[in-house]
Chain A
Amino acid sequence: MTRPVADQAARAAVRRWVLERNPDLPADRLRDDTPLLRDRLVTSVQVLDLLLLVESLRDAPIDPADLTAGSFADVDTIARVFLGVGR
Protein backbone atom coordinates (compact mmCIF):
# COMPACT_ATOMS: atom_id res chain seq x y z
CA MET A 1 0.00 0.00 0.00
CA THR A 2 1.32 3.43 -0.95
CA ARG A 3 1.89 5.78 1.96
CA PRO A 4 0.25 9.21 1.90
CA VAL A 5 2.37 11.97 0.37
CA ALA A 6 2.59 13.82 3.70
CA ASP A 7 3.96 10.69 5.31
CA GLN A 8 6.58 10.27 2.60
CA ALA A 9 7.52 13.93 2.72
CA ALA A 10 7.89 13.87 6.50
CA ARG A 11 10.01 10.74 6.41
CA ALA A 12 12.14 12.20 3.63
CA ALA A 13 12.70 15.35 5.68
CA VAL A 14 13.84 13.34 8.70
CA ARG A 15 16.11 11.14 6.54
CA ARG A 16 17.60 14.24 4.91
CA TRP A 17 18.26 15.72 8.37
CA VAL A 18 20.07 12.53 9.45
CA LEU A 19 22.14 12.37 6.25
CA GLU A 20 23.18 16.02 6.57
CA ARG A 21 24.62 15.23 10.00
CA ASN A 22 26.29 12.02 8.85
CA PRO A 23 28.00 12.88 5.56
CA ASP A 24 29.85 9.54 5.52
CA LEU A 25 26.59 7.58 5.54
CA PRO A 26 25.45 6.57 2.02
CA ALA A 27 21.80 7.52 1.47
CA ASP A 28 20.85 3.97 0.51
CA ARG A 29 22.13 2.66 3.85
CA LEU A 30 19.60 4.74 5.79
CA ARG A 31 16.30 2.88 5.95
CA ASP A 32 13.26 3.88 7.97
CA ASP A 33 14.05 1.12 10.47
CA THR A 34 17.77 1.93 10.77
CA PRO A 35 18.46 2.41 14.50
CA LEU A 36 19.39 6.08 14.77
CA LEU A 37 20.56 6.05 18.37
CA ARG A 38 22.11 2.59 18.51
CA ASP A 39 24.12 3.32 15.38
CA ARG A 40 25.03 6.74 16.78
CA LEU A 41 23.55 8.60 13.84
CA VAL A 42 21.83 10.95 16.30
CA THR A 43 23.49 12.11 19.53
CA SER A 44 21.79 13.37 22.65
CA VAL A 45 22.74 16.97 21.95
CA GLN A 46 21.37 16.71 18.40
CA VAL A 47 17.96 15.66 19.65
CA LEU A 48 17.07 19.30 20.36
CA ASP A 49 17.52 20.01 16.66
CA LEU A 50 15.57 16.94 15.64
CA LEU A 51 12.79 17.99 17.99
CA LEU A 52 12.58 21.35 16.23
CA LEU A 53 12.45 19.67 12.82
CA VAL A 54 9.63 17.36 13.90
CA GLU A 55 7.72 20.28 15.45
CA SER A 56 8.09 22.13 12.14
CA LEU A 57 6.81 19.13 10.19
CA ARG A 58 3.72 18.75 12.36
CA ASP A 59 3.39 22.51 12.97
CA ALA A 60 2.65 21.95 16.63
CA PRO A 61 4.76 21.83 19.78
CA ILE A 62 5.80 18.59 21.45
CA ASP A 63 5.64 18.41 25.23
CA PRO A 64 9.22 17.63 26.26
CA ALA A 65 7.82 15.66 29.22
CA ASP A 66 6.55 13.10 26.70
CA LEU A 67 10.00 12.51 25.24
CA THR A 68 12.02 9.37 25.82
CA ALA A 69 15.11 8.06 24.08
CA GLY A 70 12.86 5.44 22.44
CA SER A 71 10.81 8.16 20.75
CA PHE A 72 13.71 8.77 18.37
CA ALA A 73 14.69 5.14 17.78
CA ASP A 74 14.30 5.26 13.99
CA VAL A 75 12.45 7.13 11.25
CA ASP A 76 9.45 4.80 11.49
CA THR A 77 9.09 5.49 15.22
CA ILE A 78 9.46 9.25 14.78
CA ALA A 79 6.78 9.21 12.08
CA ARG A 80 4.43 7.11 14.18
CA VAL A 81 4.94 8.83 17.56
CA PHE A 82 5.17 12.45 16.52
CA LEU A 83 3.68 12.74 13.07
CA GLY A 84 0.77 10.37 13.50
CA VAL A 85 1.63 8.51 10.32
CA GLY A 86 3.18 5.18 9.39
CA ARG A 87 2.52 1.57 9.86
Chain B
Amino acid sequence: MTDVLDRLCAASEAHYSNPYASLTWPDTVDLDSWFTSPELVSVHGTAIWLQLGPPERRRLSFWEAVNFFSVNIWGERTLIAGLADRLYAPGLEDLSPYLHHMLDEENKHSIHFGRFCTQYAGKVYPDRTVRLGPDPAEAADFLFFARVLIFEEVVDRLNVAMARDPRLVPVARWINRNHHLEETRHLAFGRSVVKRLFDDGRRRWSAQLISDIRAHLADYLTATWKQLYNPAVYRDAGLPEPFLLAASAYANPAARLRRAALSARCVRFLLRSGILLEEPQP
Protein backbone atom coordinates (compact mmCIF):
# COMPACT_ATOMS: atom_id res chain seq x y z
CA MET B 1 0.00 0.00 0.00
CA THR B 2 3.02 2.29 0.50
CA ASP B 3 3.50 2.57 -3.27
CA VAL B 4 -0.12 3.59 -3.73
CA LEU B 5 0.12 6.24 -0.99
CA ASP B 6 3.37 7.67 -2.39
CA ARG B 7 1.90 7.87 -5.87
CA LEU B 8 -1.31 9.51 -4.67
CA CYS B 9 0.56 12.05 -2.54
CA ALA B 10 2.76 12.97 -5.51
CA ALA B 11 -0.29 13.41 -7.74
CA SER B 12 -2.04 15.61 -5.16
CA GLU B 13 1.06 17.79 -4.80
CA ALA B 14 1.33 18.13 -8.60
CA HIS B 15 -2.35 19.14 -8.90
CA TYR B 16 -2.48 21.43 -5.86
CA SER B 17 -4.97 24.20 -6.66
CA ASN B 18 -6.41 27.47 -5.40
CA PRO B 19 -10.18 26.90 -5.11
CA TYR B 20 -10.86 30.65 -5.40
CA ALA B 21 -8.96 31.04 -8.67
CA SER B 22 -9.83 27.81 -10.46
CA LEU B 23 -13.19 28.90 -11.86
CA THR B 24 -14.73 32.18 -13.04
CA TRP B 25 -18.19 32.22 -11.53
CA PRO B 26 -20.98 33.91 -13.50
CA ASP B 27 -22.96 36.36 -11.39
CA THR B 28 -26.21 34.58 -12.23
CA VAL B 29 -27.33 31.52 -14.13
CA ASP B 30 -30.21 31.16 -16.56
CA LEU B 31 -32.67 28.74 -14.97
CA ASP B 32 -33.95 27.83 -18.41
CA SER B 33 -30.83 25.68 -18.85
CA TRP B 34 -29.75 22.17 -17.94
CA PHE B 35 -27.95 21.81 -14.61
CA THR B 36 -28.42 18.05 -14.26
CA SER B 37 -28.40 15.68 -17.21
CA PRO B 38 -32.07 15.03 -17.96
CA GLU B 39 -31.57 11.26 -17.87
CA LEU B 40 -30.18 11.60 -14.33
CA VAL B 41 -33.02 13.72 -12.94
CA SER B 42 -34.59 11.61 -10.20
CA VAL B 43 -38.07 11.54 -11.76
CA HIS B 44 -36.84 10.83 -15.29
CA GLY B 45 -38.89 7.98 -16.73
CA THR B 46 -41.86 8.55 -14.42
CA ALA B 47 -45.35 9.75 -15.34
CA ILE B 48 -44.68 13.19 -13.87
CA TRP B 49 -41.63 13.64 -16.10
CA LEU B 50 -43.76 13.03 -19.18
CA GLN B 51 -46.21 15.68 -18.01
CA LEU B 52 -43.55 18.39 -17.66
CA GLY B 53 -42.71 20.73 -20.51
CA PRO B 54 -39.08 21.51 -21.43
CA PRO B 55 -38.87 24.68 -19.25
CA GLU B 56 -40.25 22.83 -16.19
CA ARG B 57 -37.81 19.98 -16.75
CA ARG B 58 -34.87 22.37 -16.96
CA ARG B 59 -35.99 24.22 -13.82
CA LEU B 60 -36.29 20.89 -11.99
CA SER B 61 -32.76 20.04 -13.17
CA PHE B 62 -31.54 23.18 -11.38
CA TRP B 63 -33.03 22.15 -8.02
CA GLU B 64 -31.77 18.61 -8.53
CA ALA B 65 -28.26 20.04 -8.96
CA VAL B 66 -28.66 22.11 -5.79
CA ASN B 67 -29.66 18.94 -3.96
CA PHE B 68 -26.82 16.90 -5.47
CA PHE B 69 -24.30 19.51 -4.42
CA SER B 70 -25.94 19.81 -0.97
CA VAL B 71 -25.72 16.05 -0.47
CA ASN B 72 -22.05 16.32 -1.42
CA ILE B 73 -21.50 19.08 1.13
CA TRP B 74 -22.97 16.97 3.95
CA GLY B 75 -21.16 13.85 2.79
CA GLU B 76 -17.88 15.73 2.69
CA ARG B 77 -18.51 17.32 6.09
CA THR B 78 -18.80 13.85 7.59
CA LEU B 79 -15.77 12.76 5.64
CA ILE B 80 -13.67 15.74 6.74
CA ALA B 81 -14.58 15.17 10.41
CA GLY B 82 -13.71 11.47 10.17
CA LEU B 83 -10.43 12.12 8.36
CA ALA B 84 -9.40 14.72 10.94
CA ASP B 85 -10.19 12.26 13.75
CA ARG B 86 -7.87 9.71 12.16
CA LEU B 87 -4.83 11.92 11.49
CA TYR B 88 -1.85 10.13 13.09
CA ALA B 89 -4.20 7.75 14.90
CA PRO B 90 -2.52 4.56 16.17
CA GLY B 91 -2.53 1.91 13.46
CA LEU B 92 -3.23 4.45 10.70
CA GLU B 93 0.00 6.48 10.92
CA ASP B 94 1.11 5.53 7.41
CA LEU B 95 -2.10 6.99 5.96
CA SER B 96 -1.63 10.45 7.49
CA PRO B 97 0.35 12.13 4.67
CA TYR B 98 -2.45 11.31 2.25
CA LEU B 99 -5.19 12.17 4.77
CA HIS B 100 -3.78 15.72 4.76
CA HIS B 101 -4.31 15.88 0.98
CA MET B 102 -7.82 14.45 1.21
CA LEU B 103 -8.78 16.95 3.88
CA ASP B 104 -7.50 19.77 1.69
CA GLU B 105 -9.18 18.53 -1.47
CA GLU B 106 -12.52 17.67 0.13
CA ASN B 107 -12.65 21.11 1.72
CA LYS B 108 -12.04 22.71 -1.66
CA HIS B 109 -14.83 20.66 -3.24
CA SER B 110 -17.22 21.85 -0.57
CA ILE B 111 -16.22 25.45 -1.32
CA HIS B 112 -17.37 24.91 -4.93
CA PHE B 113 -20.56 23.05 -3.98
CA GLY B 114 -21.40 25.61 -1.32
CA ARG B 115 -20.83 28.59 -3.57
CA PHE B 116 -23.06 27.18 -6.30
CA CYS B 117 -25.89 26.50 -3.83
CA THR B 118 -25.72 29.78 -1.96
CA GLN B 119 -25.02 32.07 -4.93
CA TYR B 120 -27.59 30.64 -7.34
CA ALA B 121 -30.21 29.04 -5.07
CA GLY B 122 -29.72 31.10 -1.93
CA LYS B 123 -29.57 28.00 0.22
CA VAL B 124 -28.11 24.57 0.88
CA TYR B 125 -30.68 21.83 1.41
CA PRO B 126 -30.45 20.49 4.99
CA ASP B 127 -28.79 17.19 5.74
CA ARG B 128 -31.51 14.52 6.02
CA THR B 129 -29.34 11.78 7.48
CA VAL B 130 -29.57 10.85 11.15
CA ARG B 131 -26.97 8.88 13.09
CA LEU B 132 -28.52 6.81 15.85
CA GLY B 133 -25.33 5.82 17.60
CA PRO B 134 -21.62 5.16 17.24
CA ASP B 135 -20.17 2.33 15.18
CA PRO B 136 -18.85 -0.76 17.01
CA ALA B 137 -15.40 0.35 18.20
CA GLU B 138 -13.56 -2.65 16.75
CA ALA B 139 -14.90 -1.92 13.25
CA ALA B 140 -15.23 1.88 13.38
CA ASP B 141 -12.31 2.67 11.07
CA PHE B 142 -13.38 0.10 8.52
CA LEU B 143 -17.00 1.26 8.54
CA PHE B 144 -15.97 4.89 8.20
CA PHE B 145 -13.76 4.29 5.17
CA ALA B 146 -16.25 1.83 3.63
CA ARG B 147 -19.10 4.36 3.86
CA VAL B 148 -16.84 7.04 2.40
CA LEU B 149 -15.96 4.75 -0.50
CA ILE B 150 -19.60 3.88 -1.22
CA PHE B 151 -20.63 7.53 -1.11
CA GLU B 152 -17.76 8.64 -3.34
CA GLU B 153 -18.33 5.81 -5.82
CA VAL B 154 -21.98 6.78 -6.26
CA VAL B 155 -21.41 10.50 -6.65
CA ASP B 156 -18.43 9.91 -8.92
CA ARG B 157 -20.52 7.99 -11.45
CA LEU B 158 -22.89 10.96 -11.57
CA ASN B 159 -19.97 13.39 -11.79
CA VAL B 160 -18.48 11.49 -14.73
CA ALA B 161 -21.74 11.43 -16.66
CA MET B 162 -22.44 15.12 -16.10
CA ALA B 163 -18.86 16.25 -16.73
CA ARG B 164 -19.25 14.81 -20.24
CA ASP B 165 -22.67 16.32 -20.92
CA PRO B 166 -22.41 19.36 -23.24
CA ARG B 167 -26.04 20.31 -22.48
CA LEU B 168 -25.12 21.40 -18.94
CA VAL B 169 -24.29 25.02 -18.15
CA PRO B 170 -20.50 25.41 -17.94
CA VAL B 171 -20.39 26.07 -14.18
CA ALA B 172 -22.30 22.88 -13.34
CA ARG B 173 -20.27 20.88 -15.79
CA TRP B 174 -17.00 22.24 -14.39
CA ILE B 175 -17.91 21.41 -10.79
CA ASN B 176 -18.73 17.83 -11.79
CA ARG B 177 -15.54 17.47 -13.81
CA ASN B 178 -13.26 18.93 -11.14
CA HIS B 179 -14.80 16.75 -8.46
CA HIS B 180 -14.33 13.64 -10.56
CA LEU B 181 -10.67 14.38 -11.31
CA GLU B 182 -9.75 14.52 -7.63
CA GLU B 183 -12.15 11.79 -6.54
CA THR B 184 -10.36 9.38 -8.86
CA ARG B 185 -7.41 9.54 -6.47
CA HIS B 186 -9.62 9.32 -3.39
CA LEU B 187 -11.33 6.24 -4.79
CA ALA B 188 -7.98 4.52 -5.43
CA PHE B 189 -7.00 5.30 -1.83
CA GLY B 190 -10.40 4.21 -0.53
CA ARG B 191 -10.34 0.83 -2.23
CA SER B 192 -6.86 0.10 -0.84
CA VAL B 193 -7.59 1.13 2.72
CA VAL B 194 -11.04 -0.52 2.83
CA LYS B 195 -9.64 -3.82 1.60
CA ARG B 196 -6.77 -3.66 4.09
CA LEU B 197 -9.01 -2.86 7.06
CA PHE B 198 -11.54 -5.54 6.09
CA ASP B 199 -8.89 -8.23 5.64
CA ASP B 200 -7.35 -7.30 9.01
CA GLY B 201 -10.66 -6.96 10.81
CA ARG B 202 -12.43 -10.10 9.62
CA ARG B 203 -9.80 -12.23 11.39
CA ARG B 204 -10.98 -10.97 14.77
CA TRP B 205 -14.60 -9.88 14.21
CA SER B 206 -17.41 -12.23 15.26
CA ALA B 207 -19.66 -13.78 12.64
CA GLN B 208 -22.51 -11.65 13.97
CA LEU B 209 -20.51 -8.44 13.59
CA ILE B 210 -19.52 -9.32 10.03
CA SER B 211 -23.15 -10.04 9.24
CA ASP B 212 -24.21 -6.70 10.78
CA ILE B 213 -21.49 -4.88 8.80
CA ARG B 214 -22.74 -6.40 5.55
CA ALA B 215 -26.32 -5.42 6.26
CA HIS B 216 -25.26 -1.91 7.28
CA LEU B 217 -23.23 -1.26 4.13
CA ALA B 218 -25.96 -2.58 1.84
CA ASP B 219 -28.41 -0.28 3.63
CA TYR B 220 -25.95 2.59 3.39
CA LEU B 221 -25.77 2.26 -0.40
CA THR B 222 -29.56 2.51 -0.52
CA ALA B 223 -29.62 5.47 1.86
CA THR B 224 -27.02 7.30 -0.25
CA TRP B 225 -29.27 7.04 -3.27
CA LYS B 226 -32.38 8.01 -1.35
CA GLN B 227 -30.88 11.38 -0.53
CA LEU B 228 -31.15 12.17 -4.23
CA TYR B 229 -34.96 11.84 -4.09
CA ASN B 230 -35.62 14.91 -1.98
CA PRO B 231 -39.20 16.17 -1.55
CA ALA B 232 -37.86 19.69 -0.99
CA VAL B 233 -36.53 19.64 -4.57
CA TYR B 234 -39.93 18.72 -5.96
CA ARG B 235 -41.60 21.38 -3.83
CA ASP B 236 -39.16 24.06 -5.05
CA ALA B 237 -39.73 22.95 -8.63
CA GLY B 238 -43.48 23.33 -8.14
CA LEU B 239 -44.33 19.63 -8.45
CA PRO B 240 -47.43 18.31 -6.66
CA GLU B 241 -47.41 15.96 -3.65
CA PRO B 242 -43.64 16.08 -3.17
CA PHE B 243 -43.50 13.44 -0.39
CA LEU B 244 -45.46 10.86 -2.34
CA LEU B 245 -43.44 11.74 -5.42
CA ALA B 246 -40.15 11.06 -3.62
CA ALA B 247 -41.33 7.57 -2.70
CA SER B 248 -42.87 6.78 -6.10
CA ALA B 249 -39.90 8.16 -8.05
CA TYR B 250 -37.53 6.00 -6.00
CA ALA B 251 -39.68 2.90 -6.60
CA ASN B 252 -39.98 3.53 -10.35
CA PRO B 253 -38.48 0.64 -12.39
CA ALA B 254 -36.53 3.05 -14.63
CA ALA B 255 -34.95 4.66 -11.57
CA ARG B 256 -34.13 1.25 -10.12
CA LEU B 257 -32.32 0.26 -13.33
CA ARG B 258 -30.45 3.59 -13.37
CA ARG B 259 -29.28 3.13 -9.78
CA ALA B 260 -28.19 -0.45 -10.45
CA ALA B 261 -26.14 0.63 -13.48
CA LEU B 262 -24.51 3.54 -11.67
CA SER B 263 -23.78 1.41 -8.56
CA ALA B 264 -22.29 -1.48 -10.53
CA ARG B 265 -18.64 -0.51 -10.14
CA CYS B 266 -19.00 0.01 -6.39
CA VAL B 267 -20.94 -3.24 -5.93
CA ARG B 268 -18.39 -5.15 -7.99
CA PHE B 269 -15.61 -4.01 -5.65
CA LEU B 270 -17.60 -4.88 -2.52
CA LEU B 271 -18.40 -8.36 -3.85
CA ARG B 272 -14.90 -9.10 -5.14
CA SER B 273 -13.30 -8.09 -1.88
CA GLY B 274 -15.72 -10.28 0.11
CA ILE B 275 -17.17 -7.31 1.98
CA LEU B 276 -20.61 -8.14 0.59
CA LEU B 277 -21.75 -11.64 -0.31
CA GLU B 278 -24.94 -10.70 -2.12
CA GLU B 279 -25.64 -8.00 -4.66
CA PRO B 280 -27.62 -5.22 -2.97
CA GLN B 281 -30.63 -3.68 -4.75
CA PRO B 282 -30.33 0.07 -4.10
Contact = CB atoms under 8 A, between A and B. Distances in A.
Interface stretch (A3-11, A24-32, A57-65, A75-83): A57-65
B205 interface: no
B247 A52 contact: yes
Contacts of A37: 132-133
Nearest to B232: A61
Interface stretch (B51-59, B98-106, B123-131, B160-168): B123-131
B96 interface: no
A80 to B, nearest CB: 18
B133 A45 contact: no
Interface string B172-201: 000000000000000000000000000000
B231 interface: yes
A6 to B, nearest CB: 16
A45 B216 contact: yes
Given A49-B226, A61-B231, A43 B219 contact: yes
Given A59-B243, A61-B232, A45 B222 contact: yes
A64 B127 CA distance: 7
Contacts of B144: none
B132 A44 contact: yes
A12 interface: no
A65 B247 CA distance: 22
A65 B126 contact: yes
Nearest to A49: B226
Per DSSP, chain A at the interface is helix
A45 B247 CA distance: 16
A43 B247 contact: no
A69 interface: yes
A48 B128 contact: yes
B131 A44 contact: yes
Interface residues of A, number: 22
A67 B130 contact: yes
Contacts of B227: 48
B223 A45 contact: yes
B244 A51 contact: no
A34 interface: no
A59 B235 CA distance: 12
Contact of B219 (A46, A55, A63): A46
Nearest to B129: A48
B120 interface: no
A52 B243 contact: yes
A44 B244 contact: no
A46 to B, nearest CB: 6
B276 to A, nearest CB: 15
Given A43-B216, A56-B247, A51 B128 contact: yes
24 contacts: A42-B132, A43-B132, A43-B215, A43-B219, A44-B130, A44-B131, A44-B133, A45-B219, A45-B220, A45-B222, A46-B219, A47-B129, A48-B223, A48-B227, A49-B226, A51-B128, A52-B246, A52-B247, A53-B247, A61-B231, A63-B126, A64-B127, A64-B130, A69-B131
Given A43-B216, A43-B219, A64-B127, 19 more contacts: A37-B132, A42-B132, A43-B132, A44-B131, A44-B132, A44-B133, A46-B219, A48-B129, A48-B226, A51-B128, A51-B130, A52-B247, A53-B247, A56-B243, A61-B235, A63-B126, A64-B126, A72-B130, A72-B132
